[in-house]
Structure 1
Amino acid sequence: MAGSERSDRLEVILSLPDHPLLHYITPLPQEEIQSTLEQLYSAFYIGFSQKERLKLAQEVYNWLIQPAEVDLAANNIQTLVFVLDGFLRNIPMASLYDGQQYLIEKYSIGLSQGLQLFPEGLESARLNVLMLGLTEARQGFTPLPGVGVEIEEIAKKIDSKTILLNEEFTQVAFQKKVEGKPFRVVHLATHGQFSSDPEETFLLTWDTRLQVKEFSELLQEQNRDPIELLILSACQTAAGDNRAGLGLAGLALRSGARSTLATLWSVDDLSTAEFMIDFYQVLTTKSETNLTKAEALRQAQIALIKNPQYNHPYFWAPFVLVGNWL
């Protein structure tokens, strides 16, 4: 499903299996579309009126999803993959609201650079993971105590893992591990920022800010086997950057990873730990259940929605899967 803003309308192209493309238009001035999307983005922060947030989320749902509801139901669609344009890239599709439930409660959701399906999913039997994280304050960034819990609990679920935490997580150590053997999953629980400006896109290690170009080159050292899943926990897009989604998409593309899981804004440390633990719980049983990464994402988000402490979209909505959703 591709969504695009134009000067006087919002256009959606829907591709269904074995069907011709469907095309529908919402005639609206670009200024009104942009204003609504910016208001919705602001509404995800705690303290904003829930009634107003749901109203905005339903309005965008009616633009993008409502015209396709009959076709989606008739074709038993279970996963929606979005190719988004403009400020839509900064809006979590999971949070769109039909008046009764969120979109993530109905569908698994992924993001793509284009409608291209990769031939293989992630096999849990080959789930060897490189885990890197910071729990302590570094370079002016706040501590992330939840990262310790996150890595400890995830490590219990995985047989094959390598862990670099705090002072062990330097750029040189990271590079040596990547060059040493191929990893199917690389999990980074650290501060980071994504922007449309590559100079403002980086990941934090113990000793430096790893710029997007350096990070991409480092991961491409692992050229014997592609990274199936790159997880960026505790990272965020640059606030106020209308094209910040391009930073995330660009990093995912340049890294060579088949898919990237990240967040659209900096979320609560402890709720993110819970989310990641639930996500890995599904991944590690994937071969038995035949679930996709998009469905693992969905189940982890649903678990937060069902938790009264974390059911606000601020906690669960920003997690997005870019690339191969299988």
Structure 2
Amino acid sequence: TDSFRRQGTGYLQPAQNLYNWLIKPIANELADANIDTLLFSLDGGLRTVPLAALHDGENFLIETYSLSLIPTFSLMNTDYQPIPDAKILAMGASEFEELNPLPAVPVELSTITQQMGTGEVFLNQEFTKQNLIQQRQVTPYQIIHLGTHGNFNEGDASHSYVQLWDDKLDLTEMRQLNWDNPPVELLVLSACRTAIGSKDAELGFAGLAVASGVKTALGSIWQVSDGGTLVLMSEFYTHLGETQIKAEALRQAQLSMLRGDVVIEGGQLRGEGVPDNLMLPPELAETLDKVDLSNPYYWSAFTLIGSPW
């Protein structure tokens, strides 16, 4: 996550060490059994490891497996429900009184609803807790996407938040949103540090959402790039409509960035599945033009929590 170190490949050595400790001892057994998805139930110190970026000396782990974190096996919903035609509720904020603006959010919300083919967008003043509850009562959205600022801090629940337009959604309120009524197949929290937790709130907001009834949550484990998140989410929803498996959709999105299949050039986001002529806001295009999106910083922070299906 260090902007200077991001220029090199210093991450490879620790990524290979972790692979050798965690995966290599069972790699042959996984291959013999034709395993294509790995579910990790991790203790405290390992929950912030970007598992997708573990490296065997030749390839990243994500090049071989789809990945998901699970709080416990007992909390995992294993029922499969295809979601290519699911309705999406996309809400978020790009303007804030005390926080930095997020110019990519309006583009992010409009792009993902366009890719899913059906859904509603509520931006800035319309992004309130009351409206979130009301919209879910009117329409049983299977996918909910929240694009905004967020942060997790240990201690009092009020110190951790997902930023709404006029308020902050803290950990206690996350439990009270009745995510299982109507049931939510996928909750995407594209803010920063939404999958970081503590002993009292395992896997943070994303983990609490799963514990409260969400089948699968997508969250991040560090301060993510606004533009990088736009790219990843655009690719994720493109593949979500094709693969029908959430973990595989995330894997394909990460591979698109790793392999350079999606790029930002001349103020445009270009890649397979990206809407034609998707122009970025000028302030975002200037900082992201020709950024190396293949670096794990941009694609490995986001991880699925709960069911990979």
Fold-level similarity (TM above 0.5): yes
Amino acid at match of 2:233: M
Give CA deviations for 1:185-205 in whole Å, capped at 9, x if unaligned.
Answer: 110001112344323222111
Deviation at 1:122, TM superposition (A): 3.8
Tell me the distance in 1 between the aligned counterparts of 2:214 and 2:174. 12
Q: Tell me the residue number matched to 2:228.
A: 271
Indicate the residue corresponding to 1:157 in structure 2: 115
Instruction: Report the RMSD for the aligned CA atoms in angstroms.
Output: 2.3
Counterpart of 1:216 in structure 2 is: 175
Distance 1:93 1:61 in 2: 9
Provide closer, same or farther for how the CA distance between residues 132 and 144 of structure 1 changes in structure 2, counting only shifts above 3 A: same
Q: TM-score, normalised by structure 1?
A: 0.78
| Alignment-mate amino acid for residue 185 of structure 2 | E
Structure 1 runs, 4 residues or longer, greater than 6 Å off: 238-244
SS in 1 for 2:68: strand
Task: Note the C-alpha offset of 1:252.
Answer: 2.3
Which residue among 3, 6, 26 is the counterpart of 1:68?
26
Identity %: 38
Gaps of 5+ in 1: 1-43
The answer as to 2:100 corresponding to 1:142 is: yes
How big is the shift at 1:253? 2.8
- Aligned residues of 1:90 and 1:244 also touching (Cα < 8 A): no
Distance 1:245 1:75 in 2: 31
Query: Contact (CA 8 Å) 1:275, 1:301: kept in 2 or not?
Result: yes
TM-score, normalised via structure 2 length: 0.82
After superposition, give the CA deviation of every residue in 1:177-221 in whole Å (9 maximum; x if it has no partner). 12222110110001112344323222111100111222331244x
Q: Which moved more, 1:116-125 or 1:249-258?
A: 116-125
State the match for 2:51 in structure 1: 93
> Structure 2: 5+ residue runs without aligned partners?
261-290
| Cα separation, 1, equivalents of 2:294 and 2:112 | 22
The range that moved more, 46-55 or 159-168, is 46-55
Q: Report deviation, 1:168.
A: 1.1
- 2:160 match: 201
Counterpart of 1:22 in structure 2 is none
3-state SS in 2 of match to 1:124? coil
Contact 1:46 1:312 in 2 (8 A): no
Deviation, 1:125, is 4.8
Higher alpha-carbon Rg: 1
Does the Cα contact within 8 Å between 1:81 and 1:111 map onto a contact in 2? yes
